[in-house]
Structure 1
Amino acid sequence: MTLADKDLLSIQEVRDLLAEAELAQKQLATFSQEQIDAICKAMSDAAYEQRIKLAKMARDETGFGIWQDKVVKNSFAAQAVWETIKGMKTVGVISEDPMNKIFDVAVPVGIVAGLIPSTNPTSTVIYKVLIAIKAGNSIVISPHPNALQCIVETVKVLKEAAIAAGCPAGAISVMQTPTIQGTGELMKHRSTNLILATGGTAMVKAAYSSGTPAIGVGPGNGPAFIERTANIPLAVKHIMDSKTFDNGTICASEQSVIVEEVSKEKVMREFKKSGAYFLSKEEAIILEKFIMRANGSMNPQIVGKSVQAIAELTGLKIPKGIRVLIAEEERVGAKIPYSREKLAPILALYTTKDWEEACHLSIDILNHEGAGHTMIIHTEDQHVVKEFGLKKPVSRLLVNTGGALGGIGASTNLMPALTLGCGAVGGSSTSDNIGPENLFNIRRVAYGVRELEDLRGVDSHLVESTDSNPSQEPSDDLVSQIVEAVLAKMS
């Protein structure tokens, strides 16, 4: 088979899947809330039952991360997401306001194109299928080619459970011949109503350029500021737990640490006690050559890899038992690898005089990469938290928790999600942790409560005067009466 043949087969496959999805969605649109919830519950149970198998498949196929941590992510997607959304009204009348004579009706967007990354493949599929079906939509999955088999298997698990619970077969499907051309067809096809994109910058940009409404997520590059009042041992524990979870493949995980001069030595000692290794200047120069590729993108050779694997790749002599590599840094910029997103157990360490300087530095880091995504602060000073909350260009500022699990809503009370909106500053259409409510429209039914005469109010005299003599200017007496009437209403 030639490359051209594969492209054509992929495009035709997408068209066939969309045709089936369209028919299935028309059926789903007639289902009650109870029917939809029964389907979602069945999928949640099935995904949880297969969480270990799917985690191992993802690790074996992609080479990214730690399968035991992927089990946690699969459990999170199957159970935590479902437990949060199961009580949501997503079908029919979802709210009523008798006093204002308005009620709201949920309207599915139709067909969702779910673009899946290789870093969190199985958990992202579980999550996206659950929230799409919960909102009454069909979903067609576009898998990352490097995670094709584990994504196809996850869709199979979900689809079989859904069909057994009464879901139309075409409502959940996956491209089995993924190509750039096929995914382009999926995003641009007239039958696709919304793109839910999680992945690299180029893919998200393509989603927004497709002409189809899209919810996309840009890169994370979250700095973590350890302010002088913080519980330093706990702060370091949170950062180490987060950065080593699945070898740093969650985009909300910390990418740099900012400390104040007054507490730097204590922070460094705590990191060393927790299994971090501070690179010498010479070692840092060697490693930074492997972080980014020549085109400025992240090097996939380090993504989701352990410290030991990174050491073998770079030739660095790293002691056994080391969990995270840290390089001291002062610079920020597109060509400064340590200031960029690193989906691996690698951190930059910046030092500032005080929290105001840390505030400016974190803004600089985020404006170069990661604007709109996530930042973390460890502190007991509520004033500092408020100042950071008012000024940082992020959609989620996490306080005294790890970035990876805090950002997705596992260790915080944010909406449990594996797609994290970055807002307008990050080039995204929303700043939400994406849930079912982002995947349906609202039809508002509103009764009339005022007449034209009510809206004209005191200006009704002007209308009457104009009707009787269109060319006549209002008299001074009439103007005085109107002013007096307005002032009387204001007093």
Structure 2
Amino acid sequence: MELLDKDLVSIQEVRSLIKKAKEAQSILAEMSQEQIDKIVKAIADAAYNNAEKLARMANEETGFGKWEDKIIKNVFASKMVYETIKDEKTVGIIDENKENKTMKIAVPMGVVAGLIPSTNPTSTVIYKAMISLKSANTIVFSPHPNAKEAILETVRIISEAAKSVGCPDGAIGCMTVPTIQGTDELMKNKDTAIILATGGSAMVKAAYSSGTPAIGVGPGNGPAYIDKSANVQVAVKRILDSKTFDNGTICASEQSVVVEESMKDKVVAELKNQGAYFLNAEESNRLSKFIMRANGSMNPQIVGKSVEAIAKLASLNNVPSTARVLIAEETRVGHNVPYSREKLAPILAFYSEKDVEAACEKCRAILLNEGAGHTFSIHANDEEVIKKFALRMPVSRIPVNTPSTLGGIGASTNLMPALTLGCGAVGGSSTSDNIGPMNLLNTKIVAYGLKEIEEIRGTAKAEAAVSSVSLEDKEELINLLVKRIISELK
């Protein structure tokens, strides 16, 4: 029977892809660490060698970001991720503790459902394929329709490279007819082991509601605090470098700058000196109407666009051609306050607060409004200030004195290099990690017996006896009990 409806074609395609992926995974599960590592290296090398081609494809197809920066993202997803994970043990016995007499054995999860966004399409495919195959899992991708061709070409390149060194056919699959119904089938299919969801809030929520174990990430909305102990010139450089990287399409990028009032003039002057354009009240109001859609979601018209394109869209005629970012002064935080929300574009909010305490509370308010669990960045040389903010921010990662975009994903810090950043329970995520191969493994624990029941029973009786005596005699009885246990262990 010929399938004519797109949704039915998509569902059938997904079922076929999962079937092939499951068969391939049973072969991967029997491979040695050396064989798995060879496959992962082949994927990394092929992706690295095609970094520019795939970057250009992604930029041309989506219209998001800068192809030059997308090359860096592809290199990061291939070379940097590979260098971090290449020596990780992910097959067989991965840890042995002779003192505690325990042993950990890696168990691959099975078929991974990889949901891919349009903002970082090729780099996310490379990264998710590598961490999945490294842990002896297979992966089936659901591509964002607006980046389908770039994603399919990435899958073709890395899949062919993997197969050339012994990877079974079907280990890396991708839908060619992406539909909501097909993606729903991918997430809910009985043979899908886990979902790696990177994208919009609705999609991540659907992943967690699917009934299949999922690792999803919520929106980023990280404020950047510049303390009076910071080198302001360097801090501003890092923030602007970060916010303009691929036109702000990485969710760990800064969304607002927060300072004390005493620092305001100095920071504003430096921001302007380095290419920031501060909107006046009328311009700020005009642009705010283009940041969010009526349903409260981010307007795709601004995502990954240049300052020039955004200024044209909002009829901001006074913005100079040299402007790197657009900044609006803001005091409010809320769901209906666009500048206090996530803006995957070269747009920043600017807050000045009366003192450090007020600045800390403003950063918390911004994150709890949107972006809880994700990323907060700070620029300071006062370690006590850094600790104060770190203890109070409801986030999973805190880049210090570094561009938040590159720090959050682990490019300029020693965090796990990743393009899926867990937000923890506060952000509605199952983990707070930068996701790597170990997040896609289960473990079997082998534990040798160390005590017989008589010893456990005797210890319990002795403890019960201690609890029934007077306070004065307890210390002596405890000392006797400790001596007895030490003697028995010898």
Match of 2:409 in 1: 408
The residue aligned with 1:152 is: 152
Q: What SS is found at the alignment partner of 1:212? A: coil
Alignment-derived partner of residue 315 in structure 2:
315
Specify the alignment match of 1:297 in structure 2.
297
Percent of paired sites with the same residue: 64
Show the counterpart of 1:133.
133
* Correspondence for 1:467: none
TM-score by length of 1: 0.95
Identify the residue that residue 372 of structure 2 maps to in structure 1.
371
Q: Hey, what does 2:231 align to over in structure 1? A: 231
Counterparts of 2:72 and 2:41 in 1: how far apart (Å)?
19
Whether 1:335 aligns to 2:336 is yes
SS of the residue 1:350 aligns to: strand
What are structure 1's unaligned runs of at least 5 residues? 464-475
Partner of 1:381: 382
Tell me the equivalent position of 1:79: 79
User: Residue 251 of structure 1: CA displacement?
Assistant: 0.3
| d(CA) in 2 for partners of 1:427, 1:246 | 27
User: Which residue identity does 2:205 align to in structure 1?
Assistant: K
- Indicate how the Cα distance of structure 1 residues 462 and 129 shifts in structure 2: closer, same or farther if over 3 A, else same: closer
Structure 1's 16 and 355: CA in aligned 2 closer, same or farther, altered over 3 A?
same
Aligned to 1:104: 104
Equivalent residue pairs, number: 478
Query: Are positions 1:26 and 2:26 aligned together?
Result: yes
What are the within-5 Å matches in structure 2 for residues 171-250 of structure 1? Answer: 171-250=171-250
Q: How does 1:447-458 map to 2 (within 5 A)?
A: 447-458=448-459
- 1:288-337 per-residue CA deviation (whole Å, 9 max, x = no partner) reads 00000000000000000000000111111111111100000000000000
Kept in 1, the 8 Å contact 2:3–2:9? The answer is: no
Q: In the alignment, which residue of structure 1 is the partner of 2:447?
A: 446
Q: Give CA-to-partner distance per residue, 1:50-106, whole Å, 9 cap, x none.
A: 000000000000000000000000000010000000000000000111121111100
Distance in 2, Cα, partners of 1:214 & 1:430: 10
Distance 2:333 2:99 in 1: 55
Q: Is the 8 A contact 1:459 1:482 kept in 2?
A: no
Question: Whole-Å Cα distance in 2 between the matches of residues 247 and 459 of structure 1?
Answer: 64
Give the match's secondary structure for 1:343: coil
* TM-score, normalisation: structure 2: 0.95
Deviation at 1:461, TM superposition (A): 8.4
1:488 aligns with 2:480: yes
SS at match of 1:399: coil
C-alpha distance in structure 2 between counterparts of 1:314 and 1:462, whole Å: 74
Q: How far did 1:454 drift?
A: 1.1
* Equivalent position SS for 2:398: strand
Aligned to 1:473: none
CA deviation map 1:383-421 (0-9, x unaligned): 011111111000001111111111000011100000000
1:231–1:461 CA distance, 2 compared to 1 (3 A): closer
CA contact (8 A) 2:288 2:339 kept: yes
Residues 1:459 and 1:61: Cα distance change in structure 2 (over 3 Å): closer
Aligned pair in 2 of structure 1 residues 456, 185: CA closer, same or farther (>3 Å)? same
Deviation at 1:488, TM superposition (A): 2.7
How far apart, in 2, do the equivalents of 1:316 and 1:482 lie? 78
1:109-137 Cα deviation digits (max 9, x unpaired): 11100000000000000000000000000
How far apart, in 2, do the equivalents of 1:462 and 1:65 lie? 66
Residues 260-271 of structure 1 correspond to what in structure 2 (within 5 A)? Answer: 260-271=260-271
- Rounded to whole Å, the distance in 2 between the matches of 1:483 and 1:273 is 69
- Partners of 1:458 and 1:65 lie apart in 2 by 65
Q: Which digits, 9 at most, give the CA deviation of each residue in 1:177-203, with x for residues without a partner?
A: 000000000000000000000000000
Partner of 1:121: 121
1:458, 1:482 within 8 Å by CA — same for their partners in 2? no
Counterpart-to-counterpart distance in 1, 2:216 and 2:3: 28
Distance 1:167 1:323, change over 3 A: same
1-side partners of 2:392 and 2:463: how far apart?
A: 49
Structure-1 separation of matches of 2:95 and 2:158? 30
Once the two structures are TM-superposed, the CA of residue 170 in structure 1 deviates from its matched residue by 1.1
Cα deviation, 1:217-274, whole Å, max 9, x if unaligned, reads 0000000000111100000000000000000000000000001111111111111111
**Partner residue in 1 for 2:421:** 420
Aligned to 1:64: 64
Matching residue's letter, 1:134: K
Unaligned runs of 5+ in 2: 484-490
- Asked if 1:255 is matched to 2:247, the reply is no
Whole-angstrom CA distance in 2 between matches of 1:64 and 1:125: 17
Q: 8 Å contact 1:458–1:486 — kept in the other structure?
A: no
Structure 2 residue matching 1:398: 3-state secondary structure:
coil
1:348 equivalent in structure 2: 349
- Give the whole-Å Cα distance in 2 for the aligned partners of 1:100 and 1:280: 65
- Paired with 2:463 and 2:265, the residues of 1 have a C-alpha distance of 76
- Determine the C-alpha separation between the residues in 1 that align with 2:96 and 2:283: 63
Let me know the Cα RMSD of the aligned residues: 2.0
* 1:351-392 C-alpha deviation (Å, 9 max, x unpaired): 011111111111100001000000011011100111111110
User: More deviation in 313-322 or 149-158?
Assistant: 313-322
